[in-house]
A and B are shown apart, each in its own frame.
Chain A
Amino acid sequence: MTDSQQQQDLLHDEVQAGTTTGLASPSVDVTNDRQNSLWSDAWKALKRNPLFWIGAVLGLVFLVMAIVPQVFARGADPRDCDLANSRQTPSSAHWFGYDQQGCDYLANVVYGARSSLIIGVVAVLVVLLLGIVVGAIAGYFGGFTDGLLSRVADIFYGLPLILGALVLLRVGPSTDLPIISSRGPGAVAIALALFGWMTAMRLVRSQVIAVKSSDYVAAARAMGASSPRILVRHILPNAVAPVLVYATITIGVLIAAEATLSYLGVGLQRPAISWGLQIDAGQDLLRTAPHLVLFPSLILTLTVMAFIMMGDALRDALDPRQRA
């Protein structure tokens, strides 16, 4: 067989494969002299995903709400209360009605976005940071490092999230640690993250261990790639996807945990405004004024959903096998 014929045969393979892979657009345009990367392809996939857009728009709305609540409160001040209006049901003038103190409830719910979002998002970011860094180090280096870090995680696992956060917030004000002593949303977020990072760490660690032993990592090491390069290019992209999904769900869990802490009297304290506090207060009045639980819960659910949708879309976008 001549060389050119061989070459043709090989190309013939390719043509065949073009049909077997069943892509909608078989020919990628390469004349524009640029090469796609995972992130640019992921962004392209995200842009096409309606789920991502719903999540992103919702998320943006709540973000703006947290930054400039005045815009959404329809001119009402959450602290301008009149007991005469106590527990009034929603009306055309006051969409969410009034709470027990007679404050405009729409304004209250809108102003609650800030601390709830700060707590949820900051706590999850800290969880992700701790989880990915500690998990990647433990999984990648293994051996003694792994043993030590895993045992540390086990110790934290022994302390229940709420109990750990409760103790920290109780003793927090008596210390002079910068954020912890303030007892604001930042303190609550850090307290929650400190006792909630272990699952993320375990997820990352197990993924890193699985990916570390794969042949493509061996190939990269064999060509002389450095450890940071292998971690960043090969291991982390393949290890963080499950953690992202976990993180988006955790945002909701953490916002709810904030409510629990408030209920136990160690979280945010009135006159702070948060959805947790509102749901908490509303519980007792569920029979007479169900809207007091309904509205903050609804908004809370929408927030959590927005993050879950974005996380789901992101996970799919980061996995080329999931793309159409």
Chain B
Amino acid sequence: MTTLPGSAPSVRDGGGSAPILAVEDLFVEFRTRENVVNAVNGISYTVSSGETLAILGESGSGKSVSAQAIMGILDTPPAQVPNGEIWFEGRNLLTLPAEEQRKVRGPGISMIFQDALSSLNPVYSVGFQIGEMFRAHRGLSRKEAKKHAVELMDRVRIPAAAQRVNDYPHQFSGGMRQRVMIAMAIALDPKILIADEPTTALDVTVQAQVMDLLKDLQRETGMGLVLITHDLGVVNEVADNVAVMYAGRIVERGTVDDVFTRPAHPYTEGLMNSVPNVEVKGGRLQPITGQPPNLSKIPSGCPFHPRCARRRLGAEAAPGRDCAGDRPPLRLVVPGREAACHYSEEVLGV
């Protein structure tokens, strides 16, 4: 077994609500002929059992790529993981041979995707596809696997599961297909479920049903849930903790209550101000200026500085804290809150 480094003391102690998944300083890059796309640039986080960690970010923030790295489903090449550790059940997945990785991940970590239709094979019945999990990993017979599939479809609240088990993916609505995906994902009682924009393609009423289902399943099984989304509302309603990503880095981390009430990073603050609320009409929106950065040309210093209203450059900046020159590390700003901004105290107003 791999020895554990001192820097990641939390994961392998076991027991209690200790983290069951820990990502340490993970990097992912895509090498193409013309350039290198730095999709993930040194992110670290932990997930405990029963915890819901939301990873919030816009397209190109690296939130999905980091999840794919954990699942080992990146296409390599062009993707590469030049650095990083992924600790699960006391082992660093990235140092294990591929076959071992598969054995650990298979039952332990599962993932659901935004597009349920393209994640399901159109030529097999959904019952067969759910049952395959049991046949492949538990060696069950076809008949037993089908019985389990019906049970699982019941558990994810697909009406008339026994009748619909032989239906094909196209015969289900979008929300029901996402339930089929969830059934497959929880079939082997995973300890971690990664949900990559699970409700983005769904209507708001269906989204509410699916999020409810995920929360209920989590309560029943105690699994850790990693929720990847760009939707501030979803994060607020279902997550305990949130990590905000920008340009492949975590720029702020804390409990949802703290981060949403008083953001410590200008990007988080900007996001909060730029979305309208359903509760009030509100005045003019305050957009973040500019566009998300090109990941093959991430700005120097703080990657957010070209769009930041609070940036301080040159003479305005404190020594060693020039937003265009010095990259701010993710640091503890106030107890329980980390942010990667030189001037987080100002953002918080402390």
Contacts and interface: CB of A to CB of B under 8 A. Distances in A.
Given A1-B284, A9-B289, A16 B297 contact: no
Contacts of B209: none
A19 to B, nearest CB: 7
A20 B284 CA distance: 28
B37 to A, nearest CB: 12
A17 interface: yes
A108 B332 CA distance: 86
B42 interface: no
B290 interface: yes
Contact of B289 (A12, A19, A22): A12
Contact of B291 (A1, A20, A22): A20
A13 interface: yes
B284 A16 contact: no
Contacts of B141: none
Contacts of B290: 12-13, 16
Interface in A253-285: none
Nearest to B287: A9
Interface in A1-52: 1, 9-10, 12-13, 16-17, 19-20, 22
B106 interface: no
B294 A20 contact: yes
A17 B291 contact: yes
Contacts of B190: none
B293 interface: yes
A111 to B, nearest CB: 46
B97 to A, nearest CB: 39
Nearest to B290: A16
A19 B294 contact: yes
Nearest to A21: B294
In the complex, which range does the number of interface residues on chain B fall in?
Answer: 10 to 19
B53 to A, nearest CB: 30
Main secondary structure of the interface of B (DSSP, over half): loop
B306 interface: yes
Interface string B178-200: 00000000000000000000000
B284 A13 contact: no
Interface in B260-297: 284, 286-287, 289-291, 293-294, 296-297
A16 B291 CA distance: 7
Contacts of B293: 20
Interface in A222-281: none
Contacts of B306: 16
Nearest to A10: B289
A19 B284 contact: no
A13 B292 CA distance: 10
Nearest to A9: B289
A12 B293 CA distance: 13
A16 B306 CA distance: 8
A19 B307 CA distance: 13
A1 B289 CA distance: 12
A53 B287 CA distance: 49
Contacts of B297: 19-20, 22
A13 B291 contact: yes
Contacts of A17: 291
Among A10, A13, A16, A19, the one with the most B-chain Cβ atoms within 10 Å of its Cβ is A16
Contacts of A9: 287, 289
Among B290, B293, B307, the one with the most A-chain Cβ atoms within 10 Å of its Cβ is B290
A316 to B, nearest CB: 16
B294 A13 contact: no
A35 to B, nearest CB: 25
A19 B294 CA distance: 8
Nearest to B294: A20
B124 to A, nearest CB: 28
A216 B291 CA distance: 24
Contacts of A13: 289-291
A19 B292 CA distance: 11
A320 to B, nearest CB: 17
A9 B270 CA distance: 14
A204 B290 CA distance: 40
A66 to B, nearest CB: 40
Among A1, A10, A19, the one with the most B-chain Cβ atoms within 10 Å of its Cβ is A19
B163 to A, nearest CB: 36
Interface in A149-202: none
A8 to B, nearest CB: 9
B84 to A, nearest CB: 26
Interface string B285-325: 01101110110110000000011000000000000000000
Contacts of B296: 22
Interface in B106-120: none
A13 B296 CA distance: 18
Contacts of B307: 16
A22 B290 CA distance: 16
Contacts of B287: 9
Given A9-B289, A16-B306, A22 B284 contact: no
10 contacts: A1-B286, A9-B287, A12-B290, A13-B290, A16-B291, A16-B307, A19-B297, A20-B291, A22-B296, A22-B297
Given A17-B291, A22-B297, 8 more contacts: A1-B284, A12-B289, A16-B290, A16-B291, A16-B307, A19-B297, A20-B291, A22-B294
